[in-house]
Every structure is written in structure tokens, then in C-alpha cells.
Structure 1
């Protein structure tokens, strides 16, 4: 009798392990920017596949990178780094190769988003969304036309009315552009000048927010904010007095990408999710709700005209004069981080 009971216990334990393993096969851990993936899209994917998606969010590339590096590429199945962090993470062997054979919907991508310099042949990334960083102005509080570029943010009249993102590249890049340099400048003297320029602005800043900066604008806590265009789009939809200004010095352009960490536990599910997001109707839904531009060419005809023709989301060519994509800083990254630390600690 005891032998039968023991055998039954072993069988039940084995079945439990199988069930647990099966449950693990039906999970996907996504590490993504805040407010960057519609709940409906996640729910529809789970309904169709049975794969349960767990979202964890971050507010900056630096936060995401530090965590993935600390975990050795484990813990998450998908991350969403911006272009310059794709090349950095790939070089440090933190990303798994993309298996294009599992992504038939990859053909929907616009050719301009294939084989970009930060990831030749899209070996480690699939573009998710793209956009710009610029300036949102509440024209109820600041006359329209008063803010035309980053340099105008140093106007003493804006002291206590300004929001900046808690983001190293945006902040130092903005100061570099004001000084006439590239947002990717690696000259130590120029980086120091940018730090000093940014430092002189910090006392005028009321709020630092990279999570949901539109809220401070909508709540009239600030009248001017440096933010991503999708945040400006949502704010403009709720208050048409909030406009988006492409800085005359040149806007920052960026591409956020779907990547799989090197030691992800659910690689098959990650590819299934990426392929799902590449469906034209899904990509169109994301662009419409989030207010960012899609790199999915097949999705464009599905967008309503008010999205496709909205200059906040899809900027006219003349608004991109002087704009730049951020690139990997190489050894200069450390110097940027040192100055960023000094900025944040008030030194």
C-alpha cells in the first residue's frame, strides 16, 4: 500500500512539474517604457495565444540598461531600448539575435527602418515606434511664438514654469544643440560646456518627469515642457491650447526597438509577440492610441487622416531641419554619466 501511495505521490509531483512548466511556457515578461503599450493590444494577444503578458515599466534607457546588465540578460523576454542602446547592448552581448524566420510580418516594415546603422540587418532589433523630442507650450500661459527653440527656455520669465525630462541624453543633448554642437558630440570640452549650460537652467525647473510629463502641463503646474511628441499629442487632444514646437536648433529623433535579452526564458513567446505587434492593424492601433509614429508601412493606410496627417506625430520635412538621431557615445558615455550625476546632485 505504501509503495502505491509513494508511486502516486511521485506521479502527482511529476504532473505538477509538467503543469508548472506548461504555465511557464505561456508567460511573457516585457520591460517597456511607461504608457507605451495599449492594454487592449496585450489583452487581445493573450486571448488569441493564451500567453499571459506581464509588463514592468521604466522611465529611461539608463534604468533599463542597468537592470538588464545587472541580471546578465535574464529576467525579461522583451525590452524596448532606443537606437543608441541597441548598439551598446548588442556590443556587450546582452541581446539575443532576432530569428527573422519566426517573423513573417517583418515584411510590413518600411524600408527606411531596415538595416539602420545602429543595428545592421536588424540582427538584434525590430523597430517599434519612432518620434521626436521637442517643446510643448501652453499658449494660455505663454504667448504663441515666444518659444521657438531650446535657447528660449533660459528666459527668466519661465523660471518655475518649466518641466524637463529626467533623461541624460535629452538634457545634455538639448544644451549641446543650444551651443551649436551635435547631440552626439564626444569632445570633452563641449560636453563640459553643455553641463554648465544645463546647470544654469536647473534652478528654473519646477518639475523633472520622464514618466508622464503631459500631466504637469494639463494640470497647469508648468507652462512649458521638453518632452516626447506622443505626450504632446495626448496633451493637445485634451487641451488644444497646448502646442508642440520643433526647436529651431533641431529636434531629437529617435527609434524605440523590440529586442530579446540574451538569456530570456521565453524566446518563442517573445518572437510570437513581436510578430503580433508587426500586424498592420495592431501597429495602427498602437500608433493611434499612443500618439507616436509607426515604422510599419502596411499600417499607414489603416490610420485615420487625423493621425496620419497630424504634424505632431508625423512631422513635415521642414520641421526636421537640423534634427539628429542619437547614436552610441562610445567611451564618451562615461563622461556624460559623470556630468549627469553632478547635475542631479546639484554639484
Structure 2
């Protein structure tokens, strides 16, 4: 009798544990079109954790929501480098538990321990990439496009696309003017604003979630675009070309981080470590066309991806470009001029 009761108690405990795992949820907040659905499905199947996946189209939107919620509501986010710096300094991020992340060994050391997050206490790189020029070669002569400055050419009036990203848009204008895309000088940022005002009559739209479709449809024939969007567009139509401008492309790293008020940090660590697996990192890069920081995964990429300069530019192109950095309080200057640009004032 006692044995039967013990068996029932153990069985009931295991049932409760199974139900708890089955009901476990992980709230992930990521960029649009930035993770294959197959990756989420594999994680859910393996762990029994339900991923509640929502998206944003700009760092500013993500930051505003996390700050409004005081770091609660989401378990995993994907900020760009300069927002990792900003958010960790503001106490919005939870320190990572490296003991739960054995997959760290696969990451490229050259992308770790950067100034925006020394010793990677709060973040790990997810993907890195560039913002350069997308051109629909079926509609315009792509051989004449060599620089960001070409966006201002009168023949493209009303047919130009820009990303809906403040730092990228100002970065390309700063590059055209010969300044650093990380400038903190108001005079230079103001000059970039004036330069961008001159471009507004040519602008078709600021695109965030649908860049590839804008080019594929011909709604815009040229414009600033993320390399992964250009990669996916070229998969559908080889006439879509990705051009690294002579002024230098804008390079960036997007990271994985856990908000300070995350309800399921253990699940977030499990998902991060899942993404760090070489076979999973390989799946992500081969489907969406952004470069993986996972050095083990890169060795297994298909030759078509590993040798594709849209995904992996050569060292000279990277050297000629510039990675985004935190600009400190100067971000307020950018925000002021960005609002003026978007509202036409």
C-alpha cells in the first residue's frame, strides 16, 4: 500500500513537472524577418517551451518599449551595438550567466569584448552585417551606381528608398560628406541633416520590414538596404544587386540580450545557447543572408553563401567601411534632427 502511494506521488510529481514545462513560455522580441521559423520550431520541439515571438522595425522602437515596461514583458531582445551600450548603462539589461552558455566557445573572438559591452557581460553577438546600396538592375543601369552620393542623382527622383533607421540614414549622409558615421559633433550632424533634406524630394519611402519587396516590386529602384534583405531579394530576382559604396558601407552587430525584468531568464539562456550551436547558426545565415559570428558555423556554410560578398565582404570592404558605435549624449542631437527630417520641418 505504501509503495502504491509512493508510486502515485512520484508519478503525479512527474506529471506536474511535465505540465509546467509544457506551459512554459519564452517571450522573444526581435527584428522583422530576422530568424527562420524552422529555428523556433526546432527549439520548441526540443525543449517544450512555447516561443511567443514579436517583432520591431527599429532600435528606437524596441528601446522605448523596454524602457516603458522597465525591462519587463520580454525574455530575449536583439539590440544593435550602440543600444547594448545604452541599455546596459541604464540598467535595463540582466547580466548573462556564462555557465549556462557552453556554446560561447564557438564565437569569433574578434567580435567579442568590445567597448559597447566589455567582457560581454550583458550581450553576445547574434549576427553582423552592413547597410549599403540596393539596385534593381532590371530597371536602371547598376553599373553607374558606385556611391551613396548617387542616391541624390535627379534620374532617381521619387524612386529612392532609405532604411527606417536613424543612425544608418545619418551615417550614410555623414559618409557622403566625408565625416565619421559615429560623429558626435552637432555641426556635422546638422550638415548631414541638410544633405538629407536635399534628398527628400527623391525619397519614395523609409522602409523597415519590407525592403526587399520594395526593390522587387520596382516601387523603388535604388536605395539603402540591409545586406540580408538584398540577399533574400536576389534569391527571388538576380537583377537585385548589392553595391558597397566608395564612401564605405555602414557595418553593425546585432546582439542577444536579456532585459532586467525577464520572467524566464533560464529559458532565454537556453535559447541563446541553442542559437550558438553551429548547425543552428548555419541555418540562420543560409536562410536570411546575414553573417554569423559563429566561427564553427562559418566552416560549414555552403560555398554559395560563404563566398557571397553580400553576406561576407572581403577585408578591404570592411576596412573601408565603419562599424556603428555608441555616440553617448549626442544621440539626442541625432534624434532631434531625425524628427525634423521625418516631419519635414
Q: TM-score range by the shorter chain?
A: over 0.9
CA distance change for structure 1 residues 41 and 211 in 2, over 3 Å: closer, same or farther? Answer: same
Measured against aligned partners, the alpha-carbon deviations of 1:307-326 in whole angstroms (never above 9, x if no partner) come to 11111000012222431111
In structure 2, C-alpha distance between the alignment counterparts of 1:299 and 1:178, rounded to whole Å? 35
Q: CA offset at residue 257 of structure 1?
A: 0.3
* Residue of structure 2 equivalent to 1:135: 133
| Residue correspondence of structure 1 range 250-261 to structure 2 within 5 A | 250-261=248-259
* Residue of structure 2 equivalent to 1:212: 210
Q: Runs of 4 or more off by more than 6 Å in structure 1?
A: 18-21
Measured against aligned partners, the alpha-carbon deviations of 1:71-115 in whole angstroms (never above 9, x if no partner) come to 100000000000010010000000000110000111110111111
In structure 2, C-alpha distance between the alignment counterparts of 1:30 and 1:21, rounded to whole Å? 21
Q: CA offset at residue 25 of structure 1?
A: 6.4
TM-score by length of 2: 0.93
* Residue of structure 1 equivalent to 2:343: 345
In structure 2, C-alpha distance between the alignment counterparts of 1:268 and 1:262, rounded to whole Å? 13
* Residue of structure 2 equivalent to 1:158: 156
The size of the alignment, in residue pairs, is 331
Superposition RMSD on alpha carbons, in Å?
1.6
In the alignment, is the contact (CA less than 8 A) between 2:22 and 2:49 conserved in 1? no
Measured against aligned partners, the alpha-carbon deviations of 1:246-279 in whole angstroms (never above 9, x if no partner) come to 0111111110000000010000000000000000
CA distance change for structure 1 residues 19 and 284 in 2, over 3 Å: closer, same or farther? Answer: closer
* Residue of structure 2 equivalent to 1:319: 317
| Residue correspondence of structure 1 range 91-240 to structure 2 within 5 A | 91-240=89-238
* Residue of structure 2 equivalent to 1:270: 268
TM-score by length of 1: 0.93
Secondary structure of residue in 2 paired with 1:244: strand
Give ranges in structure 2 of 5+ residues lacking alignment: 1-12
| Residue correspondence of structure 1 range 11-160 to structure 2 within 5 A | 22=20, 26-160=24-158
Secondary structure of residue in 2 paired with 1:142: coil
In structure 1, C-alpha distance between the alignment counterparts of 2:198 and 2:26, rounded to whole Å? 44
In the alignment, is the contact (CA less than 8 A) between 2:23 and 2:50 conserved in 1? no
